[in-house]
Amino acid sequence: MEGSAKVGSIFIYPIKSCRGISVSQAPLTPTGFRWDRQWILVNHKGRAFTQRNESKLALVQVELPNEAFSEGWEPTKSSYMAIRAPGMDVLKISLSRPRDVTDGVSVWEWSGSALDEGAEAANWFTNYIGKTSRLVRFDAASQTRPVDPAYARGHKVMFSDQYPFMLLSQESLDALNKLLKEPVPINRFRPNILVEGCEPFSEDLWTEVRISKFTFQGVKLCSRCKIPTINQDTGIAGSEPNETLMKFRSDEVLLPNRKKQGKVYFGQNLVCKDNLTEGKGNIVNVGDPVFVLRKISSAAEAAA
């Protein structure tokens, strides 16, 4: 059992594709960290907006009350999420459950209903993006969104792309940045858990890790879309780091015995194997130790 790695940072992204929040601790839930990707923006047809098609979302800052990341905290009538963007007034969204429901919301392969945050939020985002938009919240009381059962049967997410958690190591980022003319910050990759104190790309090999007292399964390598090429301070896309990643992190390089799909991989998707509905103390903290319980011998064996 290797140990010396630890949790360096924890990131929560309350609104899918908007800016993340760096927190010192976060409660675990069966769908990921609490508040993570609980909201999305949708267009007039109910399809999700992401930075892939609306890079201005990179500039939308989201704040939650500090106590929202404490164990057992529940919102009061005066608990808000504050949303800011260039040229816009602050938008405040109550954290208590919205009254209205919108049907026909879709994210990738999933469609269902969601809770609608109302006209003020819709107008704010419509003005900011320049296209008809609505802010909706996942309705955990009536909806479930299962992950791909071929990789992790029985697990579910809210509006995350694929899996409840995405882990990256600082050492992998450092190794990539040594190859880039202009280093990129971690926010290009939107991990939930940034680990430090391991070898670069060692997370590729982790099939089971313990973080604090919780056991996580490494489900599959995280394939990357164009979002890492979008500068999160300006919303402007370039060609890096994906161009460099393609040279040494493509399926052709990492998975030579499999069909080429032109994908690049950076990070590992995780699910938590513990039953998180019971008991107290379901909190991960920055500084928690990370123990590798099981691993494969090379990335070529990894699920992807």
Q: Are 212 and 284 in contact (CB under 8 A)?
A: yes
Q: Residue 98 has what pLDDT?
A: 87
Put residue 185 in one of left, alpha, beta given phi > 0 → left and psi -120 to 50 → alpha. beta
Q: What is the pLDDT confidence band of residue 80, given thresholds at 50, 70 and 90?
A: very high
Q: In the predicted model, is pLDDT for residue 298 greater than 60?
A: yes
What is the reported pTM? 0.96
Q: Residue 258 has what pLDDT?
A: 94
Report the C-alpha gap between 62 and 45 in whole angstroms. Answer: 24
Report the C-alpha gap between 304 and 292 in whole angstroms. Answer: 19
Tokens of 267: 């990070």
Q: Residue 162 has what DSSP assignment?
A: S
Report the C-alpha gap between 296 and 93 in whole angstroms. Answer: 45
Q: What is the pLDDT confidence band of residue 3, given thresholds at 50, 70 and 90?
A: low
Q: What is the pLDDT confidence band of residue 1, given thresholds at 50, 70 and 90?
A: low
Q: Residue 163 has what pLDDT?
A: 97
Report the C-alpha gap between 228 and 225 in whole angstroms. Answer: 7
Region 145-174: mean pLDDT is 96
Region 264-271: mean pLDDT is 98
| SS3 category, 130 | coil
